[in-house]
Structure 1
Amino acid sequence: MGLKTAVLGAAGGIGQPLALLLKQNPAITELALFDVVPVVKGVPADIGHVDTPAVTTGYVKDEDGLKGALTGADLVVIPAGVPRKPGMTRDDLFNINAGIVRDLAQGIADFCPKAFVLIISNPVNSTVPIAAEVLKAAGVFDPKRVFGVTTLDVVRASTMSAQAIGKPNSAPEYTIPVVGGHSGVTILPLLSQAQPALPKSLFDDEAKLKELVKRIQFGGDEVVQAKAGAGSATLSMAYAGYKFAAQLISAAFEGKTGVVAPSYVYVKGNADVTKAIGQDLAFFSVPVELGPNGVEKVHPLGDLTAFEKELLEACLGELPGSISKGESFIQGSKL
Structure 2
Amino acid sequence: MTEFQRHRRLRKTAGIRAMVKETYLHKEDLIYPIFVAEGENIRNEVKSMPGVFQFSIDRLAEEVDEVVELGIPSVILFGLPLEKDEIGSQAFHDHGIVQEGIRFIKNRHPELVVIADTCLCEYTDHGHCGVVDANEQILNDPSLDLLAKTAISQAKAGADIIAPSNMMDGFVTAIRQGLDEAGFADVPIMSYAVKYASAYYGPFREAADGAPKFGDRKTYQMDYSNRMEAIREATSDIEEGADMLIVKPALSYLDIIRDVRNNFDVPIVAYNVSGEYAMVKAAAINGWINEKETVLETLTGMKRAGADIILTYHAKDVARWLEEK
TM-score by length of 1: 0.34
Which is helix-richer, 1 or 2?
A: 1
Per the normalisation by structure 2, the TM-score is 0.35
